[in-house]
Amino acid sequence: MAAIWIAIPTFRRPDQLAHLLQTLPAMVDRHDVMVLVADNDPAGQEGAATVRRLQEGGYPLPLTLLTVGQAGLCAVRNAISDAALADPDMRFLAMIDDDEWPQPGWLDALLICQAQVGADVVAGPVDSCFVGKTPHWARESLVFRPEERPWGATGMLWASNNLLVTRRAFDLIDTPWFDPRFNRSGGEDLDFLGRLHDAGARFGWSPDARVSEWVPAERARLSWVLRRMWRIGCTETMARRKKLPGKAGTARLLARSLAILGLRTAGLAALLLPGARRVDIAGQWIKSWGRLYALAGGARNHHYGAL
């Protein structure tokens, strides 16, 4: 069907999804692309309705709709992966979230980096686009700053919201690609990438493969940012705990988490310094407590976005 599949999981964001789909054709000028939208809300199906409306209006790119009945991040990402891998022509799976949209040259930049580096997985930066009046600290916060790395081969990658995965990469790890243990908590992409890294996958980074992400006003609040840092601490620890099972592994993680908490607590003194990034300092301290919460087993039953 197509050598490149662009995969978009969606859940109750019809307006943002429509913006992404309407932006894609101008940014992806290729004839070997298939766009796959996976709606993870079988009851409301707002995403499905958006796709059908665009299809009826003569959408210029091949567009496939997949309705995923099982709720959860891993369920929808596994369904996407299975659908793409079922196409024998598929060589690359590009992942982008439904509240994002690509900037010019996005897909080509990912593909060029993959070819020149020989990478199994390539990622790029995500630029925040704030909606409404935004406090200055939010624009400078670690949560919203785009990650910047030099072009080329790189170390561990952390997220799937701007990612190109080769077909070969899926052959390096066992199924399920995205571990259902992370279905409700998040962190499924970190676990996926961590397993690929451990299996010897080669990672690349392309600074020119940029996407933009909507940041609604309710996210540009201190409470949301600190909850986000808490969740990151939880999910990172859950992924590490999977690699270090048993009492010995838990003891190692506990010692590490307590040491980090000690350092972050001492670092709180920097809050008094002029020009200090106070939200980042506080966020890293909160993240340390999230690690301990996850070690106590408190994170596993939380729905994504609830923390």
Q: For residue range 220-263, what is the model confidence (pLDDT) as tens digits?
A: 999 999 999 999 999 999 999 988 989 999 999 999 999 999 99
Q: Backbone phi, then psi, for 37, in 5-degree steps?
A: -110, 125
User: What are the extents of the domains in the chain?
Assistant: 4-218, 222-295
Per the CB < 8 A criterion, the answer to whether 229 and 284 are in contact is: yes
Q: What is the pLDDT of residue 42?
A: 87
pLDDT attached to residue 298: 77
| CATH pick for 4-218 out of 3.30.360.10, 3.90.550.10, 3.90.228.20, 3.30.70.270 | 3.90.550.10
pLDDT of residue 154: 98
What span, in angstroms and rounded, lies between the C-alpha atoms of 222 and 228? 10
Position 306 scores a pLDDT of 35
Q: Which helix (H) or strand (E) holds 289?
A: helix 278-295
208's tokens: 């020119």
Does pTM surpass 0.75? yes
Q: Taking the chain (307 residues) in consecutive chunks of 10 residues, what is each chunk's mean pLDDT? A: 96 97 96 97 95 97 96 96 98 98 98 98 98 90 96 97 98 96 91 97 98 96 96 93 91 96 97 94 97 85 43
